Amino acid sequence: MAPAPRQLPRRAVLGAALAASGCAAVPAIVSAASINARMRGDISPVHDPCIIRQGDTAYLFSTTGSAREAAEGLIPIRTSRDLIHWQRAGHVLAELPEWARQAVPDAAGAWAPDIAHFNGRFHLYYSVSTFGSNHSVIGLVSSPTLNPSDPAYAWRDDGQVIASTRQDDFNAIDSNVVRDLNGDWWISWGSFWTGLKIARMDPGTGKPSDDRVHAIARRPEHPGAVEAPFIITHHGWHYLFASFDLCCRGLESSYTLVVGRSRDVLGPYLDREGRDMMQGGGSPIIAPSPRYPAFGHNAVLQDAGQDYLVFHAYDRDRDSAPVLRVSPIAWSADGWPGASL
């Protein structure tokens, strides 16, 4: 039988139960430099990472963005036992399922995965789209274990989760699953157009339970440049992380990470200055550096009493390639997250 996940991203409410599993924890690490300066192995190119732990191993999944990359497989898997040494461990999919190819015929890969554990299975969400279009779908695969040595390891195609067409005002990519402070499940998504959306999720299917869609963030004065929602709970708050501005242009990217918080998972999410994220608000989390001028599309690993911000940054020393970054989150006295490169 597969060991239970030590602790899962976003689900602090499960902490006590997961701690009882007895699995090994990440060693105590107090600064991003102590991780990132020592990071080794297969850490680039990594775009749009998500992360989860099963047993003593952290599993990281990321975007497959080009036809050349897709020829090797979709959604690369990397593993680590200490968040420092990373190795490649295959791919989730050999190719897109037929329904996804029919839904978005021009798609070259699978983008922006998200991973969550519920109902005894690991659920991996992924996006199928093309640049500059909201003709998109979010798909779902699941497996009872992430350990490829386990005979039960197999990714099952669970089909389409959400779709958008050119007639919609949102883009069905960049999904994220969260269990709120009341124990209810939600799925959020969005990129450009009218911003970030959220809908109630049925944990029995991993898909929206009804047709109601709620808006949680937008940027009306910045051509819609907000994407990649990621929600966690912490000390009685829901924190909405998002990425502003432009990715995927190497050192010319303007990508950056922001956050707001709300008592209610549906918002309003206000930043540190009290600005509503529905009106373009969002507090910066990380300051850029000469080596890493742009960064974004984060996940959060909540593990053994420490939260980690996991994201990609464009690295001047690697010819602008996107590289994996892992930073312990430092929570301020008034409850705001900070991190570093």
Q: Tens digit of pLDDT for each residue in 211-256?
A: 999 999 999 988 889 999 999 999 999 999 999 999 999 999 999 9
Give the pLDDT score at 31: 60
Tell me how far apart the alpha carbons of residues 53 and 142 are, in angstroms, rounded to a whole number: 15
- Provide the residue type at 27 as one letter: P
Q: 200 pLDDT exceeds 60? A: yes
Give the pLDDT score at 32: 62
Give the pLDDT score at 108: 82
pLDDT band at 274 (very low <50, low <70, confident <90, very high): very high
Tell me how far apart the alpha carbons of residues 107 and 92 are, in angstroms, rounded to a whole number: 17
Percent of the chain with pLDDT over 90: 86
Q: What is the chain's mean pLDDT, rounded? A: 91
Strand pairing class (85-93; 40-41): parallel
> What is the length of the chain?
341
Q: What is the mean pLDDT of residues 193-217?
A: 98
Percent of the chain with pLDDT over 70: 90
- Reduce the secondary structure of the chain to three states and give it as a string: CCCCCCCCCCCHHHHHHHHCCCCCCCCCCCCHHHHHCCCEECCCCCCCCEEEEECCEEEEECCECCHHHHCCCEEEEEEECCCCEEEEEEEEECCCCHHHHHHCCCCCCEEEEEEEEECCEEEEEEEECCCCCCCEEEEEEEECCCCCCCCCCCCEEEEEEEEECCCCCCCCCCCEEEECCCCCEEEEECECCCCEEEEEEECCCCEECCCCCEEEECCCCCCCCEEEEEEEEECCEEEEEEEECCCCCHHHCCCEEEEEEECCCCCCCECCCCCEHHHCCCEECCCCCCCCCCEEEEEEEEECCEEEEEEEEEEHHHCCEEEEEEEECEECCCCCEECCC
Among 43-47, 69-73, 336-340, which stretch is predicted with the lowest mean pLDDT? 69-73
Give the pLDDT score at 66: 76
Give the pLDDT score at 231: 99
> Can you name the residues that pair with 176 across neighbouring β-strands?
188
pLDDT band at 68 (very low <50, low <70, confident <90, very high): confident
Q: 152 pLDDT exceeds 60? A: yes
- Provide the residue type at 12 as one letter: A
Catalytic residues: 48, 227
What is the reported pTM?
Answer: 0.91
Cβ-defined contacts of 178-182 (< 8 Å, 24+): 178/10, 178/11, 178/231, 178/232, 178/233, 178/238, 178/265, 179/10, 179/11, 179/13, 179/14, 179/118, 179/233, 180/233, 180/238, 180/265, 181/13, 181/233, 181/236, 181/238, 181/263, 181/265
User: Is residue 10 packed enough to be buried (19+ CB in 10 Å), middle (13-18) or exposed (0-12)?
Assistant: buried
pLDDT in tens, 12-61: 333 333 332 223 333 343 466 689 999 999 999 999 999 999 999 999 99
Residue with token string 């959306």: 197
How far CA 321 is from CA of 47, 80, 141, 243, 293, in Å, comes to 9, 21, 28, 18, 12
Closest C-alpha to 260, from 195, 169, 163:
195
pLDDT in tens, 82-130: 999 999 999 999 999 999 999 999 998 999 999 999 999 999 999 999 9
pLDDT in tens, 117-140: 999 999 999 999 999 999 999 999
Q: What is the mean pLDDT of residues 166-170?
A: 96
Q: Which CATH number fits domain 12-338: 3.40.220.10, 2.115.10.20, 3.90.1150.10, 3.30.70.260?
A: 2.115.10.20
